[in-house]
Structure 1
């Protein structure tokens, strides 16, 4: 088994403000079910947390810039780490991720390299 990072990209930066309590409860319920299913299969390593949409970027010259609003569709909005026997299995597990219910969101599946 290998670890894979599911990288969630995109979404509405003000989703928590634009979502009713009922909608929020339904969304979080879907995430809870999905995480529980992964955990029951022994596939969940870390559920991760959503990331705040604001941030800073530092380049190789040590220049610091704010992350621009125009980049939100490509911005990493959260992550999880799962175990899978192959990238194909990890991709299949990611296909049912609740983030895909949100418009303009995607999941990137990346193998975590073992450096030992």
Structure 2
């Protein structure tokens, strides 16, 4: 099985109440439960990013497609990884998506 990086893009807004946070957490844990042993690293949400450009210029705008979090999933190929992502809870939010990339093991 190959490993794939799921990069979650979206609003980055955290739930305002404990009940909303629990509902969100439950939806993610349910999805991870459906994926079972394919989940290598559930990952975490991430904070606002900065971008270092050529010449050392730094942009503090969260990037052109802000990252909200990541996970690492095992799948037989990118099509399988894409299929596994289709039920991701972030896709229930407007203007959110999952970017999927194979992790290339070139460093040993």
Flag as ranges the 4+ runs of structure 1 deviating above 4 A: none
Q: Shift of the alpha carbon at 1:20?
A: 2.8
Q: What are the Cα deviations for residues 35-83 of structure 1, in whole angstroms up to 9, with x where unaligned?
A: 1222x3x20111110011x2321112112221259x4xx2111110000
Closer, same or farther in 2 for the Cα pair 1:102/1:64, shift >3 Å?
A: same
Alignment of 1:23-62 (within 5 A): 23-38=20-35, 40=36, 42-52=37-47, 54-62=48-56
Tell me the TM-score normalised to structure 2 length. 0.88
For the aligned residue pairs, the C-alpha RMSD in angstroms reads 1.7
Closer, same or farther in 2 for the Cα pair 1:108/1:29, shift >3 Å?
A: same
Tell me the TM-score normalised to structure 1 length. 0.82
Q: Which runs of 5+ in 2 are unaligned?
A: none
